[in-house]
Amino acid sequence: MGQRVENLGDYLREQRLGAQLTLRQLADQAGVSNPYLSQIERGLRKPSAEVLQQIAKALRISAEQLYVRAGIVGLDESGSVELAILADPSLTERQKQSLLDVYSSFLAMNASEESAEPTAIERD
């Protein structure tokens, strides 16, 4: 997980520099503190989906790109359940994170059960 957060920080830094924004300018535009944004860029903090959305808006890039970089959404999940949850305006940030956690735990549980099931050859 740490690797993805570092990749997110590097990506954010590249996008910020490409937009010719200082750390302070981006932090102001995204509505986050300068130290917090610095920690995200250095890979020390993992921002919430809501903060990523604010940063994406300030950088004029898609929030989905940041969700993928942050590991919130997988690369092959176009039209995914995760994106639907994140895009739902009627849910609070805490509710979105809880739903994402439950969903990913179900996926992990199902994957481990599938790998534990004997194949047809092993059953005979």
pLDDT one-digit tens code per residue, 107-122: 888 888 877 766 556 5
**pLDDT-derived band at 73, boundaries 50, 70, 90:** confident
Q: Residue 4 burial by CB count (10 A; 0-12/13-18/19+): exposed, middle or buried?
A: middle
Q: Which CATH superfamily is domain 2-115 in?
A: lambda repressor-like DNA-binding domains (1.10.260.40)
**pLDDT-derived band at 26, boundaries 50, 70, 90:** very high
The mean pLDDT of 7-11, rounded to a whole number, is: 86
Reduced to 3 states, what is the DSSP secondary structure of residue 113?
helix
Q: At residue 8, does pLDDT exceed 90?
A: no
**Domain residue spans in the chain?**
2-115
Please tell me the predicted confidence (pLDDT) of residue 1. Answer: 42
**pLDDT-derived band at 5, boundaries 50, 70, 90:** low
Reduced to 3 states, what is the DSSP secondary structure of residue 62?
coil
